[in-house]
Amino acid sequence: MDLKKNNEVGSFVENLSNIDKTSIFLLLEMTGKDSIMRKTKEEESMETVFEEKEKTLILKIREEIDDYKVQEIRRKADYEIQRYMPKKVVFDFDKVTFMDSAGIGLIIRKVQVHKFNRSRGRIGQFNKEYKKNF
């Protein structure tokens, strides 16, 4: 993502270089500059389901998680979490066909963030091929 393309957002990011990414996406949403989020369904690397009753956000990740794809997944996950404020987040890896250390980085980081936010992160359903990475 090229935040620098937009001067306003660019300077916001520079001024608050330590701020959590989710705040930036909240800002992007507030200012209506969330065009990076708008993609057609087929292009999306993730599908989200929010279960209102249990306040559970399910992030169904699709296809491949590498260093390239993980950037979009992370962006989208932060955005959805900020949007729904779930009590519990479930990462569903059932449709993941490939994953490398970028995926491990994503999980470690997300679990830390949710511990911090006092919500519960759970790693659900691994495609059996990728279980052995752990």
Partner 1 sequence: MKNYENEMKLEFVSKASNESFARVTVAAFAAQLDPTVEELADIKTAVSEAVTNCIIHGYENKLGIVKIVAKLKGRTVEIEITDSGKGIENVELAKEPLYTTKPNLERSGMGFTIMESFMDTFEVESIIGLGTKIKMSKTVEGQVEEEEQDFTMVTR
Q: Does 133 bind ligand ATP (CB under 6 A)?
A: no
- Closer residue to partner 1, CB minimum distance, 34 or 100: 100
Question: 103 vs 57, 108, 133, CA distance in Å?
Answer: 19, 9, 10
54 binds, among ligand ATP, partner 1, none (CB under 5 to 8 A by kind): none
Single out the residue of 99, 52, 50, 51 nearest to residue 73, CA to CA: 99
Sign of CA dihedral 33, 24, 3, 46: negative
Asked if 121 contacts 114 with a C-beta cutoff of 8 angstroms, the reply is yes
Q: One symbol per residue from 52 to 91: x for binding ligand ATP (CB under 6 A), - otherwise; what is it?
A: ----------------------------------------
Q: What's the min distance (Å) between Cβ of 66 and partner 1? A: 5
67-84 vs 21-30: helix crossing angle, rounded to 10: 70
Q: Does 11 bind ligand ATP (CB under 6 A)?
A: no
Candidate ranges 3-11, 23-31, 67-75, 114-122; the one touching partner 1 (CB under 8 A):
67-75
Query: Least Å distance between CB 53 and partner 1?
Result: 28
